[in-house]
A and B are shown apart, each in its own frame.
Chain A
Amino acid sequence: MGEKILMKGAEAIAEAAIKAGAMAFFGYPITPQNETPEYFSRRMPEVGRIFLQAESEVAAINMIYGAACTGTRVFASSSSPGISLMQEGFSYIANSNVPCVVANVMRGGPGLGDIAPAQGDYFQATKGGGHGDYHTIVIAPHTLQEEVDLVLKAFDLAEKYRIMVVLIVDGLLGQMMEPVEFKETVDVTKFKVPEWATVGQGDREDRIIITSLDLAPEGLEKMNLHLQEKYRKIEEQEVMVEEYRMDDAEYAITAFGTMARISKTTIELARSEGIKVGLIRPITVWPFPSKTIENRANQVKFFFDTELNAGQMIEDVKLALNGARPVYFYGKMGGIVPSAEEVLEEFKKHLGGQHE
């Protein structure tokens, strides 16, 4: 076990990626994740790996795409407007079935928005964002330790399914400092070029073409069916969710990332007043833990969804419940993060006079 080190989120994610064996980083400066490329620019030469500052996020994601096609562990990070620029690459990477990991340190939008923490990219991250029918695995950590632990998991999932994994961390997690422990360092000398990768034909019997194109509709349908089959398998096997104080809960909060963390404090405050409330926290927001939520429908009186946006994940909560229970919402936009007390106050408005 390693020691605990006090680190800023945007740097901890970089070190975690290096420890997880990221051999190359491509990115472009954007607040609030500048410490990530800065950290990589210092550390990658030290470990003999690649850091390259691209001319734009468009170029960065296509560098990632090229490097991913060689079966190399590659990592990129950006923030909301930059992630929007990358969506073209996301779509191509999806239909090319190549693995990579990208972090989105979300800031306030739409447009240029601001540089304060937000969760307004949930739709973009979980519903596609780019063109065509595709998904990326989307992981939403709520502490720096979890973020660090999930980076290695993200690479493993990316390679297991040959898919892009996106870590969505809001600006708060990117900018805050916490003690973190790096539990594992991957031995990169054991990396081998996978059999599907394009590094020149060499001694292989057949050459390899990686493309997202098939001009024959039947061929493209086949590519799509392959993707959908992969997505169903991921939905079955890779859901990650935390249920917090749900055993005796009469109400359930649903939240991810920073809002889930704040909600845990809200829950303690509520319970000190005798209100039995728990939290269902999707760790993967795609695949979404629909079954976990559905399973609690008969237990709780209502669900209370809280996010740093106008209400995005709430749609998936409602789909999971299919009308079985009411779902209320409290959100803040523009990069404003509410306190645990504010969340509690909003939550209590739905109790109908009980516990007042």
Chain B
Amino acid sequence: MSNMKTIYKVPSPIAKRDTSYCPGCTHGVAHRLIAELLEEMDLTKKTVIVWPVGCAVLGYYFIETDALEAAHGRACAMATGVKRVHPETFVLTYQGDGDIASIGIAETIHAAARGENITTVFINNGNYGMTGGQMAPTTLIGQVTTTSPYGRKPEMNGFPIHLPEMLATMDGPAYIARGALDNTQHILQAKKFLKKAFNTQLKGLGYALVELVSNCPTNWKMTPVESLERIRKEVLPVFPIGEFRVVKGVE
């Protein structure tokens, strides 16, 4: 027994309770990556996570740190308030596509423009999951949702928003990347992106955001496996994985 080695365990910040997420949803993967990094980087006790309105609205029950619950879209503004008065805290926002790229896009862009020293984890699952699968700013052209029942049409609904590419055009942000949670290789890569984003804040380099292309088996009306295949076949060609802005010093 004595030569047995722990190679896999529940990260200490993960609560010992069931989540509110649907079976097969990658929110759990994203939570795990964050929790692993908080533990590995010894950040848990100095962290304040600002949770969103959306599927992760109860996220503070699943990752155990000091936590705030923002109004819809306002996480970056709220996080700014925390970080400006307590710069020693490690401040994360966790936001979905509707939250960050629709109702909260002003707060997000301006936090990035200011180079606010906070870190955003952005879950892109292409729809408003919690409210039942409505069209989001990241819904693909042709994608059927409950408010685009004939498929998203550019002439009616415009085009999907590529937030990292937009933010990467600005001088404020220090680190902007997009990863995906559809397979092990991508998940490990996403963790590396997140680690860089966390380090960006710790080094005081400014705003960092990592988009994580995620699934929504329930509202996509797919099995979990089908939903992961859809990410590879349909979503990643539109929202490609990559690092879009990496300023000097980010590692």
Contacts and interface: CB of A to CB of B under 8 A. Distances in A.
A198 B77 contact: no
Contact of A59 (B50, B58, B65, B110): B110
B189 interface: no
Contacts of B88: 200
A207 B48 CA distance: 10
Given A198-B82, A200-B46, A211 B77 contact: no
A303 interface: no
A127 B81 CA distance: 27
B37 interface: no
A50 B57 contact: no
Interface residues of A, number: 40
Given A55-B107, A66-B79, A88-B71, A23 B85 contact: yes
A67 B82 contact: yes
Contacts of B200: none
Contact of B69 (A64, A207, A213): A213
B67 A207 contact: yes
A202 interface: yes
Contacts of A65: 70-71, 74, 77-78, 81
Contacts of B109: 55
B116 to A, nearest CB: 10
Nearest to A24: B85
A138 B79 CA distance: 27
Interface string A2-36: 00000000000000000000011010000000000
Given A24-B84, A63-B84, A198 B106 contact: no
B81 A74 contact: yes
A104 interface: no
Contacts of B86: 70, 72, 199-200
Contacts of B71: 62, 65, 88-89, 92
A89 B77 CA distance: 11
B110 A208 contact: no
Contacts of A66: 50, 68, 77-82
Contacts of B70: 62, 65
A52 interface: yes
A50 B85 contact: yes
Contacts of B12: none
Contacts of A52: 80, 84
Interface string A96-110: 100000000000000
Contacts of A64: 81
Interface string B134-161: 0000000000000000000000000000
B65 A201 contact: yes
Contact of A209 (B69, B78, B85): B69
Interface string A53-78: 01110111011111111101010000
B239 to A, nearest CB: 26
Output the residue of A23, A55, A212 with the most chain B CB within 10 A: A55
Contacts of B58: 213, 215
Nearest to B81: A66
Interface string A166-180: 000000000000000
Interface of A: 23-24, 26, 50, 52, 54-56, 58-60, 62-70, 72, 74, 88-89, 92, 96, 198-203, 207-213, 215
